[in-house]
Amino acid sequence: MALTQRDTQHHTYGEYLTWSDDHREELIDGVAYVREPPAPSRPHQELVGGLYYEVRGALEGKPCHAYVAPFDVRLPKSDEADEKIDTVVQPDVLIVCDRHKLDQRGMRGAPDWLAEVLSPSTASHDQIIKLPVYERAGVPEVWLIHPTDRTLTIYRLEDGPLRTPKHPGAQRPNTTDRRAQCQHRLGPTAIATGVKR
């Protein structure tokens, strides 16, 4: 699934809403990126589905909710109206604990946690373009899952930029604790078949 720029114009969410649903698109700082066919690979979809299932189960009975792409996440830079927002992303899996951020179109504001399953055609985009956007928006924790390399990299927003924890084994943790308003524990079950422990 290749990512290409739609054009060289600056776009907003208001325009984004008028585009056809033929391809999944994202806006990052006004630049429209189009995800062109083919669809994500079977292993990618199995990993996303398994992770979503695991996360949703871990949140059972808690105030937080899990969502899976396609799900529009609008990331305003300040208090601009929705139609003026120029960054809209679709993480593979995400958690939202603040129900006030949710609406019929998806959500406005930073998720409490998100995961991107990388594919060869999107890995550099997710790591170089999207990771700084997640940092700027204040996403507390981002998982980048590399199915080809069979690794999981966790980035946490800790007193500054998103970064990997400095303790040994940070690349392949068995569990992670989130200290957001919803406490939950995620094990490696959902990613065990595609990622080294």
pLDDT digits (tens, 9 = 90+) for 141-186: 999 998 888 889 999 987 667 666 654 444 433 333 333 333 334 4
Radius of gyration, CA atoms only, the chain: 16
- DSSP assignment of 80-144: --GGG---EE--SEEEE--GGGEETTEEES--SEEEEE--TTTHHIIIIIIHHHHHHHT-SEEEE
- Helix count and strand count (H, E) for the chain: 4, 15
pLDDT digits (tens, 9 = 90+) for 78-118: 999 999 999 999 999 999 999 999 999 999 999 999 999 99
